[in-house]
């Protein structure tokens, strides 16, 4: 979603090989074929980057399940930050990134300049990053939803970690964020304090709403929590293309994203049916949130959560399958 590499994260790879299921499937309305001269090949092994937020994990769950059950692929899943994932496309250690949040700089490096990666179509998800408060705060303090009023409430958000300033809670320290620059450039009396992970960020918002505790923090959609707690977004100065070009001077809201997929060029052009399925893969924020909630709240395994969604949406996923 949003991660820049800060330090080295431990890579975990789980390799699962499942026999090809004998299931007749419908072809896509928009069949994708291998490039001229590339023959259709057996699926073989597909290596998927897994970035550290559960919405991405939901994508992995559904795509991996179909690759294994429908195409007989072996799937390797690697836990990586976004920067590490892009670097893996260059080294051949990663075949595909299933949810890319913009990253025009990385696209220029790996797609335009190095020519080792290619765009592989939209996921269908709409990504929005921003600052949020729990609903009780917006009800009790209606004017808090205007960013120009935030300094009036800075004292309310002070914590031991933020000292004399108001605390703006961040998530995983590796998430891409403009928050520190926004605070400085909008002249807000706040400082960023990191929760440490997406799970910790979610827990903080749930606690703040349940116990009516003050909290303002970085959050985003798609995210299953928003179906449980209607967090209130605080709009910042309107985003315009280029207003965030310089991270040091940015003073506008986050860019809205049409999330997309990125693949290793050699994989995308290999003739593998896996590349076709991944290119066809497209669903909604609601779809992703259902699978993500089953994984997080329902404590289901990825395969269990994927199967539950796939069983209820056969017409959708059958359209993702490559022509046989």
Instruction: Reply yes or no on whether the pLDDT at 29 is more than 70.
Output: no
Q: Which of 270, 293, 268, 288 is nearest to 279 (CA)?
A: 268
Report pLDDT for 15: 35
Nearest-10 crossing angle of helices 273-280, 54-71: 140
Q: Can you tell me the mean pLDDT for 117-121?
A: 97
User: Which listed CATH number (3.40.640.10, 3.30.1330.10, 3.40.50.920, 3.40.190.100) goes with 128-234?
Assistant: 3.40.190.100
- pLDDT band of residue 293 (cuts 50, 70, 90) is very high
Give, rounded to a whole angstrom, the gap between the first and last alpha carbons of the chain: 33
Distance CA 9, CA 81 (A): 8
The helices-and-strands tally (H runs, E runs) of the chain is 11, 10
Residues of the chain with CATH 3.40.190.10: 13-124+260-318
CB atoms < 10 A from the CB of 53, how many? 24
- In the numeric block, the tokens 């990125």 are attached to 262
The reported pTM is 0.78
Distance CA 199, CA 129 (A): 16
Q: What is the pLDDT of residues 132-159, one digit of tens each?
A: 999 999 999 999 999 999 999 999 999 9
- pLDDT band of residue 1 (cuts 50, 70, 90) is low
Distance CA 146, CA 237 (A): 10
- In the numeric block, the tokens 């699926």 are attached to 43
Segment holding 314, helix H or strand E: helix 314-318
Report pLDDT for 247: 84
Indicate the fold that domain 13-124+260-318 takes in CATH.
D-Maltodextrin-Binding Protein; domain 2 (3.40.190)
Q: What is the pLDDT of residues 206-220, one digit of tens each?
A: 999 999 999 999 999
Residues of the chain with CATH 3.40.190.100: 128-234
Q: Dihedral of CA 193/197/199/200: which sign?
A: negative
Distance CA 213, CA 234 (A): 17
């Amino acid at each position: 979603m949003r991660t820049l590499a800060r330090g080295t994260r431990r890579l975990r790879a789980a390799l699962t090989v499942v026999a090809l299921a004998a299931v007749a499937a419908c072809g896509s309305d928009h069949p994708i074929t291998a490039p001229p001269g590339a023959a259709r090949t057996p699926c073989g092994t597909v290596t998927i980057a897994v970035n550290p937020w559960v919405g991405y994990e939901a994508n992995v769950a559904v795509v991996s399940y179909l690759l294994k059950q429908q195409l007989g692929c072996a799937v390797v899943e690697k836990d990586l930050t976004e920067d590490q994932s892009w670097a893996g496309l260059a080294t051949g250690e990663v075949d595909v990134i299933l949810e890319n949040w913009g990253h025009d700089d990385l696209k220029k490096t790996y797609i335009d300049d190095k020519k080792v990666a290619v765009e592989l179509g939209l996921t269908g998800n709409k990504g929005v990053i921003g600052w949020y408060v729990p609903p009780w705060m917006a009800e009790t303090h209606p004017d808090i939803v205007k960013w120009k009023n935030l300094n009036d409430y800075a004292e309310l958000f002070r914590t031991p970690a933020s000292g004399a300033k108001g605390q703006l809670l961040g998530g995983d320290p590796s998430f891409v964020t403009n928050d520190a620059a926004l605070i400085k450039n909008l002249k807000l009396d706040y400082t960023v304090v990191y929760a440490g992970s997406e799970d910790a960020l979610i827990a903080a918002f749930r606690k703040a709403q349940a116990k009516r505790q003050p909290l303002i923090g970085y959050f985003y959609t798609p995210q299953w929590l928003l179906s449980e707690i209607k967090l209130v977004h605080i709009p910042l100065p309107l985003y315009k293309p280029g207003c965030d070009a310089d991270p040091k001077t940015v003073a506008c809201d986050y860019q809205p994203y049409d999330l997309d997929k990125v693949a290793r060029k050699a994989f995308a052009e290999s003739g593998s049916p896996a590349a076709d399925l991944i290119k066809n893969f497209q669903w909604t924020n609601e779809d992703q949130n259902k699978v993500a909630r089953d994984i997080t709240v329902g404590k289901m395994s990825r395969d269990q959560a994927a199967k539950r969604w796939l069983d209820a949406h056969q017409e959708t996923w059958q359209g993702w399958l490559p022509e046989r």
